[in-house]
Structure formats: C-alpha cells, structure tokens
C-alpha cells in the first residue's frame, strides 16, 4: 500500500507506510522478506525525493538477493540505484548501475528464454515535463 501511495503522489505518507513495513520485516528475521521491503522502501524514497535512502536500501536489497541466489531479483535494485545516482547528479554511477541491470537481464535471458525476455526496469525516470518508465530490452 505504501508503494502505491508513493507512486500516486502521496509520497510522504507512502514512504512512512513502507518504513513501517520495513521495520516489521526486520523483526521477522527473514532475509527474503527484508530484501523485498528494502526494495519497496527504495521505490518510495525515490518518489519522495530521497535518493540517498533509496540507494542505500536498494544496495542492501541487492546484497541480500545475491546471498540468497535470487538472480531474478537483482536487476530492479540496480535500476533504483541508477535513478538515485542520476537524481544526485552522478552520471558515472548512474551508467554503472544501468550496466549492472543490463548484465542481470542478460543472465536471465540466457537462462530463461532467449529472444523473448523483456525486462522492465522498475525505476522511474523523472524529467521536468513527465514521468517515463525506463525500459531495458535485450
């Protein structure tokens, strides 16, 4: 619900709701649920204009997904970190995270469905005039 609030314009309320969910996930001591909550918080933080918190939580989610061997989940945090870096004006880091996301997509394509897999980056690209979804294709 917090993610929906954040994306629909209620960014502060959305970020707060996701922060509560993140706190509950930490109490469960379940790394997979914690990583998912961190990813949701990263999305809400981006929407609320907090790229530092977004990047930090996306980084933690990436590390947990990697430890758990969840290859399919490792691309989205890279997209959030790319957007956070872009929002902070760090184009070099933004390019590096975009390349990491493409690398994860390529690995999935090779493993799952060559010629048919399309990965949609869950991070929004914010411009002055409109919100666009960034689409990475292999």
Q: Which helix (H) or strand (E) holds 132?
A: strand 131-137
Phi, psi of 122 (to 5 degrees): -80, -5
pLDDT at 113: 61
43-61: pLDDT as tens digits? 999 999 999 999 999 999 9
- What distance in Å separates the CA atoms of residue 37 and residue 51, rounded to the nearest whole number? 16
66-115: pLDDT as tens digits? 999 888 788 889 999 999 999 999 999 999 999 998 888 888 777 766 54
DSSP E strand stretches across 3-130: 118-126
CATH class for the region spanning 2-137: mainly alpha
Predicted TM-score of the model (pTM):
0.69
Which of 104 and 122 is assigned the larger pLDDT? 104
Each domain of the chain, given as residue ranges in start order, spans 2-137
């Amino acid at each position: 619900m917090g993610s929906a609030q954040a994306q629909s314009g209620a960014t502060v309320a959305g970020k707060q709701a996701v922060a509560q969910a993140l706190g509950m996930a930490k109490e469960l001591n379940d790394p997979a649920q914690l990583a998912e909550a961190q990813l949701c918080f990263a999305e809400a933080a981006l929407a609320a204009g907090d790229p530092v918190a977004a990047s930090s939580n996306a980084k933690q989610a990436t590390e947990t997904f990697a430890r758990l061997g969840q290859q399919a989940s490792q691309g989205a945090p890279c997209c959030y970190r790319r957007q956070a870096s872009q929002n902070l004006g760090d184009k070099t880091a933004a390019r590096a995270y975009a390349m990491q996301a493409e690398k994860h997509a390529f690995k999935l394509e090779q493993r799952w469905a060559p010629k048919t897999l399309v990965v949609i980056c869950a991070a929004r690209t914010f411009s002055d005039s409109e919100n666009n979804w960034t689409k990475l294709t292999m």
